[in-house]
Amino acid sequence: MNKNSITDIPIKGLNVTKIFTTDSTETLLISLEKGETFPTHTSPKTTLLVVLEGKIDFHIENKIVTLAKHQCYSFEKNIEHYVTAHKNSRFLIIR
């Protein structure tokens, strides 16, 4: 990440920025504009999602988990999921 602050990344549409990576882990910063969707996908590793700001719906295994600022949710690898934004949101994916 070339920016010094997470808040420097604009919230417009969907933006995925890799902010940290090692041989065993990576951290992604996702910004998602209100009303936008992060399309259905799977994760190759067990993952922790941490909401930094905003409010999202996390859709996984036929349920919806609503998460807001400073809430987190963990999930196993290879499970289809997607995210919709109630508000302009930023969240971390740590896997």
What structural domains does the chain harbor? 6-94 (2.60.120.10)
Could you tell me how many helices (H) and strands (E) the chain has, helices first?
A: 0, 9
Q: What is the DSSP string of 29-48?
A: EEEE-TT-EEEEE--SS-EE
Q: How does the average pLDDT of the chain come out, rounded?
A: 94
Model confidence, pTM: 0.91
Given this model, what pLDDT does residue 1 score? 47
Given this model, what pLDDT does residue 7 score? 83
Rounded to an integer, what distance in angstroms lies between the CA atom of residue 63 and that of residue 44? 21
Given this model, what pLDDT does residue 10 score? 86
Given this model, what pLDDT does residue 3 score? 56
Task: Give residue-wise pLDDT tens across range 35-74.
Answer: 999 999 999 999 999 999 999 999 999 999 999 999 999 9
Given this model, what pLDDT does residue 2 score? 53
Rounded to an integer, what distance in angstroms lies between the CA atom of residue 74 and that of residue 95? 10
More confident residue, 91 or 7: 91
For the chain, percent of residues with pLDDT exceeding 70: 96
